[in-house]
Each structure stands twice: as C-alpha cells, then as structure tokens.
Structure 1
Amino acid sequence: MSFAPPPPLVFAGDNYHIWVVKMKTYLQALDLWSAVESDVEPTPLRANPTIPQIRQHGEERAKKHKAMACLQNGVSNVIFTRIMACDSPKQAWDRLKEEFMGSDKTRKQQVINLRREFENLKMKESETIKQYSDGIMATVNNIRLLGEDFRDSRVVEKVITTLPERFESKISSLDDSRDLTTIFLSELVNSLYALEQRRASRQEENPEGAFQARTREGFSSNQRAKKPWLERKDKAMREANRDAGRRRFPPCIHCKKTNHLEKFCWTRPDIQCKSCKFGHHEKICRSHDKGQA
C-alpha cells in the first residue's frame, strides 16, 4: 500500500520553527531528506552498467530536483523569491534557516536567553498545572528547535521544584511510591491535574464553606489594612465612654454641675468644715492643712 503524506502548510514568513519541523518530516516521508542534508552528487555509473543500476542512479539524481520542488512549493511567492536563485535544496534550506533563525552566533544568544527564561519560570498561584506545564514545554521546544539538547528529566525536576505549597502533599506521596527521577512529565502533570480537579469538585460541593473562608481572609486583611482607622475609632469610643462616666449624675441644684451628688457639693449653704466649723469643705480648709502639717 502506497503512502502519500499530505503536503505541509505553505510558509509565508510566520512560525518558521513550526514549518521547518513539518517540512523536514514531509521530506523524510518521501525519502528526500538526504538530498537536503548533503550536496554530494551521486556516484557516476561504471562502464557497462546494468538496467537496475541505471534506474537507481537516475532516482538518486532526481531526488535533488524533487526535494527542490517540495521546498519551492512549500513557501509563498514572497519567500520563493529569496530562494529562487539557489542551485540545490541544501542551499535553499540553509538560506531560509539563516534568514529566519539567524546565524550561529545569533542562535547561541537565543539559546542563552531561552535557558535563562527557563530557569526563571515559577508557577503562579493563579495558574493551573496544565497552563504551567504548557508554558515550560513551549520554552523547551524553542530551545530544541535551535539545535540544543534538553533532557526530559530536567523539565520534570523544574516542575517539581517550582510548584506551590498546595501540591507538596502530592509530591511527597509520589516520592514515596516511585522514583521521581524516572517519572515522565505527562504522568506527573496528570497526577497533579487530578488533584486539582478533586479540590475543585469539593469546593463546588461546599461553596458556603469556601465563601466563609475567603470572607474571613478578606476581613482579616481589611483589618490589617484599616488599623489606623480602627485605632482612631477606639480612641473616640474611649473618650465618649469617659465623658459619659463624668455625666452620670443629675445636675446639682447648688452649682448645676453633673459630676457629683448634691450631698457632696462644696457650695451647698449648710456645709460645715469639720476642722474649723466654718461654711466650707474641709478639703479646702487652711486650718485643716496646717494641722496636718
């Protein structure tokens, strides 16, 4: 049964890193990739070649033209003008690679930047495990497209060491059950994703408890944010209570003040000092003060 792979998407100048992978697979499926990798001409025929040898030699020579046709038809007319002067598929392939991926020096700098970006990745509290793993793999794939080797075990280690605290119990249970240095990224992500789904289901079943927890957290944070206001409010309440304590008696009929009872008023007409027997209170009596001295 013959196999005819579908042609790749036409490259128009965008997403070269995707097109180049698809085009390479397409050429390999047609057994034409060797013509792109090397510019070496097929070995010339010997004297008195056989019919099979002539046929094989013709097929080897035709590979270059077939590969060139695939490349020319796999790009838009604007991109075709940049490779139309190329004499071989390898020359056309290298021209596109240099233009859309840069020189070797540029690619090395891109790899350095992508590796730095990979090292700085850390999962946010608002992210899901799927979103985080997809972001990591996008960076890793860009590094690999630039020709750099990147081991899967390093990606797994990065995910494990940058997870939030809510996944700590799951990582501990996985570490007890198996060797995390040999676990696949898809297996790790699926286990953590299942944990996220269970927690989301419990929150949906008990939304009131989750709402109360969020309300308590919001209230405590609001208290911390409004602490100066609360202090002013408490001070005003204390002053009001103190003023209320001062005015807890009815107005005195002698002095009209509200901070004492009538029998303790110093200005009542029948008051008599116990020390000198005159009409004033003993606390302001000069004779009383001299006697104490």
Structure 2
Amino acid sequence: MATENFAQPAVPRFDGYYDHWAMLMENFLHSKEYWSIVENGIPSIAGGSMPTQAQRNEVEEARLKDMKIKNYLFQSIDRTIMETILDKSTAKSIWDSMRQKYLGSTRVKRAQLQALRKEFEILQMKEGEKVDEYFARVLTIANKMKAHEEIMGQNVIVEKILRSMTSKFDYVVCSIEESNNVDTMTIDELQSSLLVHEQRMNCHSGNARDEQVLKVSYGESWEKSANYAEFDEEEEMLLMSYDEVKNLK
C-alpha cells in the first residue's frame, strides 16, 4: 500500500494583524501538540524536595518543546520585531509580549477599516460633480482601504462607480453594462467612457443654453424675424428673375 505524503503546514507569518496571526499560530501549535507550553509555560519542580526521574523527564521534554516553539515564532516574525523580544527566554513570554504589543493596534486598524468600508459603501456622485472629481473621491477611499490590507479588485471599484452615478448618466451606464464585461473592465476604461459622455452632454447643454439666451433676449419675434428674412430673400430672388425675363421681352 502506497504511503500518502501530506504537506507540512507553513508557519503563519505575522503581517501586523495580531488577531488573525494569533488564531493561525495557535491552531498551528495545537496541531504540533505544543500549545500547552505556550499557555502554561514550562512546568517547575517544587523546591525543598528531590525531583523524581519522571519529573525531570517532564521538565526536559517541556524545555525541548519550548525551544521548538520559539523557533516557529522566530520564523513567523521579521527582524525588527525579533529585536524587541530577544530578552524573552521562553515561548510563553514571547507570546505574551506579542499580545501586549500588537493586540491594541490591531483593534484600531480594524476599526479604521470598518469606517472606510462604510464610507465606501455610501459613496454617491453629487449633482453637478464632474466625472474626474468623483473618481478621485472613490479612489482615495479605495486606496486607504488597500493600505489597511483590504483586498479589492478593480471590478469592485468599477461596479461601485456604475451603481452610484447620478441619474443623468443612466443611459450610458446601461450601455456600458450591456456592451462590456464589467468583471474585466479597468477603472481607466470606465473613466474614459464616462468622460466622453460627459463632454457630449456639456456640448448639448451649451447649444441649448445659447438658443435659450437668444429667445430671452429677442423674444418670439426673433424666430418670426428669421422666417421673414428667409421669405424676403426668396421673394427678392423671384422678383429679380421676373425683371430679367421681362427685359428680355
């Protein structure tokens, strides 16, 4: 019967988030049957009595496990952190020191990330806000979330922007969603499409404003005057043709 080969679990690396690392490391040490040494420390022999051979063997075994645990802990942290715990002689003292140093900062980071997630979720484009301005607001928050180790693909940001545009962009949003694979669309591609649409809207609104200004300035007699001018020009051309024919006779 073939012997099955099982991959050894990797030592969890400390990435600044204590809760996550501590959970993985505790589970790792449990799998090695070493966790009791971290939790309770190396057993001591009561003074005033000669230890038995069984007691000495127990202490010696615990010290060996403690050295192995320390080796795992040293593998999981970088040099800068290691330099702050070199004075710790046991695995338990190292564990307690890590907990004291980093548990509080992890909670702060988690609270900051939760606040950023909420801010990202409620983001909406403001009436009158330009496309570039809104993209800048969204990406600023997204980049802060990434700095807090939040895994965020471009598709998440693309989908967020599409569902939070103002109503005047409804048509182009539908068009983009129907003609593109939003899952693979980049942020730059989306921004380019929306900018083109924004420029077209600005041109149309500019033409409409110009026509409105003329109507307000000159009134409805402006439209009638234009019609009369066209009629007078045609009438003049007809009269000129009539005179030429008459002269030929």
Please indicate the TM-score interval, normalised by the length of the shorter structure: 0.3 to 0.5
TM-score calculated relative to the size of structure 2: 0.45
Larger Rg: 1
Structure with the higher helix share, 1 or 2: 2
Higher relative contact order (CA 8 A, sep 6+): 2
TM-score (norm 1): 0.40
